[in-house]
Structure formats: structure tokens, C-alpha cells
Structure 1
Amino acid sequence: MDSLDHAHFSAIPWCARHLKGNRVIAETAPSRSVKSTGEDALFAETLNSESGIARMLRVYEEPLSSTERVDEVKVFLTLGSGLNGWPNVCHGGLVTTILDEAIGMLVPINQDRKRIPAGMCMTAYLNTTFVKPVPTPATILTRARFTRVEGRKYFTQGTIEDEKGVILARADALFVLLKSSL
């Protein structure tokens, strides 16, 4: 866990409430780490700045049984004004990108725990509904969850919420486990 990310969100009262509990796992998202392959460069390098996404923390509860999937993940992000499309409003393309990133975290969390098959999983579709403007600068909460699983197909939903729990954007997405690597 990146202690700076955890400390940042722990200092925000409405975020801190989500970080408590015996089974809560809070960690910097792996996509924030620079990789020699160039993988995750968008979140690890391009958007990783005070004016972009200054801080990012993924949070989930470890299931009671070792055979259960992690069906929901929360991702806290502190957004800067460098993401603006309009003054003090996050660009819609970035809103969709944030939803895609958060929803996409469900698969590797479960693959790491051997609760779903290993392999490369990619977004097949992501339908976004913009409910209200996503403000900048601001701290937001993105929630992602599985809605159903059919073989290699992972149907999911995600939301972006403000500190009061008001939904600002939502998405329905399908992630597909590829038969072979690209």
C-alpha cells in the first residue's frame, strides 16, 4: 500500500468511513505503478500529477470464504483542474476512462485470488450515462461491481459519486477474457 494515498484519503472524513473494517483492503491501484512494458502508462504517468489524478486508492472487502469472488471494488480519486473539459468540470472522455479503469479492477483482483481464470481481459463495451457534471478539483468515489458472469464474459456496472453519495455518472460494461494473448 502507498502510505501517501492511504493517508490522503484517511484524512478526508467521508472517505475514511470506507477504509474501516477487519476485511477492508485499501491499496494503491497497480495501474499507478510505472512498468517497463509501458502497460498502464496512462494512469501511472500521464494522469499521475497534482493537476491530473493526484491520488488514487482502491478499496474492497475480502470475502468471508476463500471460494467467493470479490464482487465490488471502490476507487477513490482526487482530481485536479488539468482534467477540465469546462471550467471546474471533468472532461467527459476522462469520466468514461475513470469508469473503465475502476470497473476493470474487478478482474485482476479476482484473478490474483484465483477466483476467476487467469488471462488478458479487455473492455468489449462501456456505455456511459452522464448524470451530473463531475467537478474538479474534487475527490470522488467510483464503485464497480459484477452484475453477472457468463463463461468468459463479465457483465459489470460502475458509478461515480460525490462526497454526498450523489451519482454523477454511471456505466454498464462488458469485459471479455481473451482466448489468447494479443
Structure 2
Amino acid sequence: MAINPETFKSLPWALPLFSDPQWTASIRGSRLTATGNQDCFNRKTMRSNDGVRHWYEFCKKPETPDGLITDVATLVSYGPGLTGFPGMMHGGAMSTLIDEALAWGMLCVEKHNGKLIYGRDSLEDEGEEKEPDLAGWMATAWLKINYLRPIPCPGVIGFETKVNDLGSKIELSCVVKDAKGDVLVKGQGLWIRMKGKPKL
């Protein structure tokens, strides 16, 4: 599937992301296998019942090869499947999208720093479940979300995310903008590096 700016022509402030050579674009989900047991909630639940229709992610290249990733962006179009109150997106759906928009920044940092862990798409081995070893993975430590205005549903929105790479921790913040560029929601989060198997 090709990146198609037409889907997001209602966000004129975001269209430069598609043509600016400083930004690289990808379609959400392209980095994972279709059969993996990872990211199922977003690949299946969020996209089901006319939920998320298009999900593009962008990363701004650092000024120099050894520079830091500081800016990423996410564009999402969605149907009435994410409705809470009539005509409004469910707050839980928005919190998930913010978590993912911030996580995209974390993933860009990890890839740029050569720390992104590949080859763990499946937590099963020959039909037997394994206890996942998550040492080295980054995970959400906390999220803070401020809902400023109702989020129309269905709709098209964009996330502008700032990234602060602290090594073992990554701080991120984002604003969610509508077609006019008005800020609907603000989000902040902290990602930390896990040390081993989850204690459940």
C-alpha cells in the first residue's frame, strides 16, 4: 500500500510532511508481521468496526548523522467505530492513539540509536507459549492527557510529537490538531527501558 496524501488533504498544515525530504513516512503496521502476537490491539481492535482507516507515521531526520531525533508526527483517519458520545471520539480511543503517537517517537529514537529489537514478533514457538523476555524493550511508565476540546468522530487528525532522548528514558509530548490546526488534546509520557521478564 502506497503513502497517499489525498487521504489527509483536509489537514493542510500536515501536507508538507509528505513532500519535505527531511521527513520519512511509513504506514502503521508495516513493521510487524501479519501473524505476530504483538500490537494486536491496534492491528485488530482499533481498526475493526470502521475504526482507524488510515494510520501514517513520520520521522524527521536529525540535522547530522549523530544528532538526536526530536520531532515525529502521526496522521490518522477514522470512522464511527471510535465513537463515544454521539459525534465525538471515545476518550479511551484517543488515549490509545496518544500512547501510540508517543511510542512512535520512542521507536524512531531506538532505531536511530541502533537499539530497536527485531525478531520478536511472535511470543509462541512451535505452538507453545513462551514467557516473554522483555529485557531491553522500552515501555510506557506514565501518560498524562489533557482533553481541551471534543474530538469529532468520524474524522481526520494529526499528532505533532516532541522527543527528548535521555538514554535509558525517553520523554515525549504531543499535541493533537484538527483540520484548522486547532489543538484538541495534549499528551505527555515517559518511556523507560525494561530489565527483564514481566512480573504478573
Classify the TM-score, shorter chain: 0.7 to 0.9
Deviation at 1:77, TM superposition (A): 0.1
Give RMSD over aligned pairs: 2.3
How far apart in 1 are the matches of 2:6 and 2:48? 14
How far apart in 2 are the matches of 1:175 and 1:112? 15
Q: 1:108 maps to which residue?
A: 107
> Following superposition of structure 1 onto structure 2, how do residues 24-173 of structure 1 map, counting pairs within 5 Å?
24-30=23-29, 33-49=32-48, 51-114=50-113, 119-146=136-163, 148-173=164-189
Larger Rg: 2
Q: Which has the higher contact order (CA 8 A, sep 6+)?
A: 2
Deviation at 1:9, TM superposition (A): 3.4
| Partner AA of 1:9 in structure 2 | T
TM-score calculated relative to the size of structure 2 = 0.79
| Partner AA of 2:104 in structure 1 | M
TM-score calculated relative to the size of structure 1 = 0.87
Please list every run of 5 or more consecutive structure 2 residues that lacks an aligned counterpart in the other structure: 118-135
**Quick check: 87-96 or 25-34, which moved more?**
25-34
Q: 2:191 maps to which residue?
A: 175
User: Which protein is richer in strand relative to its size?
Assistant: 1
Q: 2:131 maps to which residue?
A: none
How far apart in 2 are the matches of 1:17 and 1:150? 29
How far apart in 1 are the matches of 2:157 and 2:31? 17
Residues 60 and 70 in structure 2, CA contact (< 8 A), matched pair in contact too: no
Deviations 1:67-101 (A, max 9, x none): 11221111000011110001110000111110000
Residues 35 and 41 in structure 1, CA contact (< 8 A), matched pair in contact too: no
Q: How many residues align?
A: 179
User: Which protein is richer in helix relative to its size?
Assistant: 1
How far apart in 1 are the matches of 2:148 and 2:116? 34
How far apart in 1 are the matches of 2:83 and 2:174? 21
Please list every run of 5 or more consecutive structure 1 residues that lacks an aligned counterpart in the other structure: none
Partner secondary structure for residue 143 of structure 2: strand
